Each structure stands twice: as structure tokens, then as C-alpha cells.
Amino acid sequence: MNYFVVADPIKCIGCRTCMIACVVEHNGEDIFYQNPEEINFNPKLEVVKNAQVSAPIQCRQCEDAPCAKACPQDAISKKNNAIIVDQKKCIGCKNCMIACPLGAINLNDVESGCTVDLTNMPNDKLFCIEKMVANKCDLCSGSEKGPACVRVCPTAAFRIVHEEDLTASIKNKRKASAIGAKNL
């Protein structure tokens, strides 16, 4: 079974620290020393806020992964108990976005290659082709420390859910239901 991260909306204060930590974790460089115009700010989760509640929306790493089934390029697959997008294969068709029951996938533009236009020699221009690719939580798969959002949340709103947690939860719910039925 895949593990996943959930956040308690009661504890979430909507500070978006998790989004910044996600960007820092996936950027590969210290973004605080980069030119702000060059930062690739594409977090793999989104904090949704309204007057009553704030909560991050992120992938639940579904066992049946409807996003992967919907991908015509096989760009989405399971690796190390997480559902991962291979951005090199992704064509930006949006099928995964439509298939995701949580709305946890978005599209981001990425540079796919740059060339120099030599047709106007005095005004050589560098043309960079951008393409849209799927972007979703990958549980910080490249990090030995685990998901950055869990590590940095100031209110400890995030927690990792493992198979044992689900099994215990189901057992407790069934026990509470049986006790409730007995008292009727």
C-alpha cells in the first residue's frame, strides 16, 4: 500500500509554509539566494483558504491511481510507494487532472529546450520552448528526510498515514459501531 500525507484543517492556519518548503525541496537549489525572477515556484500541493477553513490539497497516492490510468503517455507510475509524474514523458493533455478525484494535480510550464535564432545575426535571440506538464505531490521522493510539508508545518497539521494507521482506524470504527449498536 502507498502511504500518503494528510493535514488536519483544524490545525492548519493557512500560512503556506508547506508550499514554500515543497518548492525548496524540489528546486535543488537554495531559492533564497536566487534571483526572484528565476525561481521555479511550482509547489506540489495547494493551500485552499476561505473564511471558515484552510487546508492543503495534495495527492493521496491512490492505490488504483486514476491519474495514471488516464495518462496516454504512461507518464504517471508508482515508484517507492508514491505515484510519480515523469515530466519528460508528460504531454500536458490534462487527462490526469480530470481523473483525479481530489483535484490534486495541476499543470506547470517547464522549459524543454532553448535554441538561438541566427536568422537575424545582429539581434541573436535565445528562444526557449515551454511546455505544460502535470505537477503533483511525490512525497518528496528524492529526500531521505521524507515530505518537507510534514517537517516544516508550524502547527504540526500534517501527518503521514501508513497502512497500519488505516487498519487501526478501521478496527476502532468497527468497534465503536458495534458498541453503539449494542447500546440501542
Residue 119, pLDDT score: 57
What is the rounded average pLDDT for all residues in the chain? 87
Q: Read off the pLDDT band of 51 (50, 70, 90).
A: confident
User: Which architecture does CATH list for 1-58+137-184?
Assistant: 2-Layer Sandwich (3.30)
pLDDT (tens digit, 9 = 90+) per residue, 86-140? Answer: 999 999 999 999 999 999 999 998 866 666 555 555 555 666 667 899 999 999 9
Q: How far apart are CA 18 and CA 33, in angstroms?
A: 19
At a CB cut-off of 8 Å and minimum separation 6, what does 18 contact?
A: 7, 43, 45, 47, 56, 148, 149, 152, 153, 158
pTM for the whole structure: 0.79
Count CB neighbours of 94 within 10 A.
14
Any idea where the domains of the chain sit in the sequence? 1-58+137-184
Average pLDDT over residues 164-183: 85
Q: How far apart are CA 139 and CA 26, in angstroms?
A: 11
Q: Which of 27-31, 58-62, 84-88, 141-145 has the lowest mean pLDDT?
A: 27-31
Q: Is the pLDDT of residue 29 over 70?
A: no
Residue found under cell 494528510? 6
Residue 33, pLDDT score: 78
CB 95 within 8 A of CB 72: yes
